[in-house]
Amino acid sequence: MTTLNIVVCVKQVPDTAVERTLTPEGTLDRESPDGLINELDEYAIEEGLKIAEAHGGEVTILSMGPAKAADSVRKALSMGADKAVHVLDDGLAGSDALATSAALAAALTRVGFDLVILGSESTDARTGVVPAMLAERLGVPQLTLAATVEVSGAGVTIHRLTEDGYAVVTGSLPAVVSVVEKINEPRYPTFKGIMAAKKKPVRTLTLADLAVDTGAVGLAGAATGIADWAARPPRTAGVVVKDEGDGGSQVAGFLAERKFI
């Protein structure tokens, strides 16, 4: 097989350990909290690096996001990826899954790829539909929720995580694969990797570079919108069951009422 061109999509998300806030438009405030690589994307990076190490190949990081997303791109490079493409344009702010997939698909078409790997969802929006949308837009097979990935010949085979076990799914290359956290243990950036990342090429592409219509992305291109939002109500006190001989049936009744049993 010729050298695999692997592209891993990486999204910077707000740190889930700190309080997250919404802008007046109802979109997530990405400026104030620290940005981190979406956790599942670290598994995608690890899998991309492992496949490249096993089969020979090059790993390109593709990230769409504001200027500060460059930190996450740099971390992905320090883990061992070869180069990166940062899609950076103010017109992208407020993009929903459909708009995001439009911009990423344009970038992927421009960069070229044999295998696209993504985390199966992001910790901020949690729609989990971008991998499927990307595959559809690119006209390639989608192999989602992978707990294992094997590349051989011109094809890719995954174990797709299901509720009861896994399904074996095979597709031809090029393809889009999304991964779940069972798949591997992401490596730490090594010190040598951190130093080497400084010299790795990062290409910045704008919507104009990608010839993407500004009406197709950002808030303007979003097919979905936030109609209303509210903070989760504070947790209320639980029910204390006093066992005076009938504790068991009280607990069973409580669970039955909520259709747990």
Partner 1 sequence: MSSAPSARPRLDPHDPAGLDSLLSEEELAVRQTVRDFCADKILPHVASWYERGELPGVRELTRELGKIGLLGMHLTGYGCAGMSAVDYGLACLELEAADSGLRSLVSVQGSLAMFAIWKFGSQAHKSEWLPRMAAGEAIGCFGLTEPDAGSDPASMRTSASRDGSDWILSGRKMWITNGSIADIAVVWARTGDGVRGFVVPAGTPGFSAPEIKHKGSLRASVTAELVLDSVRLPGDAVLPEVTGLRGPLSCLNEARFGIFWGALGAARTCYETALEYAKTREQFGHPIAAYQLTQEKLANMAVELAKGQLLALHFGRLKDQGRLAPEHVSIAKLNSTREALEICRSARTVLGGNGISYEFPVMRHMANLESVLTYEGTPEMHTLVIGQALTGHSAFRG
Within residues 59-88, the interface with partner 1 by CB under 8 A covers: 71, 74-75, 78
Q: What character string, x for contact with partner 1 (CB under 8 A) and - otherwise, covers 24-43?
A: --------------------
Beta bridge partners of 141: none
Q: Which is nearer to partner 1, 111 or 194 (CB)?
A: 194
CB of 84 to partner 1, least distance (A): 15
CB of 184 to partner 1, least distance (A): 14
- Binding-site residue total for partner 1 (CB under 8 A)? 14
Q: Which helix (H) or strand (E) holds 150?
A: strand 142-152
How many Cα atoms within 13 Å fall on the side-chain side of residue 15? 8
Taking a C-beta distance cutoff of 8 angstroms, is the pair 97, 113 a contact?
no
Backbone angles phi, psi at 134, to 5 degrees: -60, -45
Q: Which is nearer to partner 1, 195 or 261 (CB)?
A: 195
Q: Which is nearer to partner 1, 182 or 192 (CB)?
A: 192
CB of 85 to partner 1, least distance (A): 20
Q: Which is nearer to partner 1, 188 or 260 (CB)?
A: 188
**The two three-digit tokens of residue 160, written as one number:** 């797709």
Closest CA to 72 of 94, 44, 114, 100: 44
Taking a C-beta distance cutoff of 8 angstroms, is the pair 11, 64 a contact?
yes
CB of 71 to partner 1, least distance (A): 8
Taking a C-beta distance cutoff of 8 angstroms, is the pair 207, 214 a contact?
yes
Cα gap 70→30, rounded to integer Å: 13
CB of 81 to partner 1, least distance (A): 14
CB of 113 to partner 1, least distance (A): 27
Cα dihedral 67, 83, 144, 105 sign? positive
Q: Which is nearer to partner 1, 74 or 160 (CB)?
A: 74
Q: Which is nearer to partner 1, 35 or 91 (CB)?
A: 35
Q: Which is nearer to partner 1, 108 or 197 (CB)?
A: 197
CB of 206 to partner 1, least distance (A): 24
Within residues 174-233, the interface with partner 1 by CB under 8 A covers: 187-192, 194-195, 197-198
Closest CA to 73 of 10, 122, 23: 10
DSSP 28: B
CA distances from 23 to 26, 227, 231 (A): 5, 13, 13
Cα gap 150→159, rounded to integer Å: 9
Q: Would you tell me which residues interact with partner 1 (CB under 8 A)?
A: 71, 74-75, 78, 187-192, 194-195, 197-198
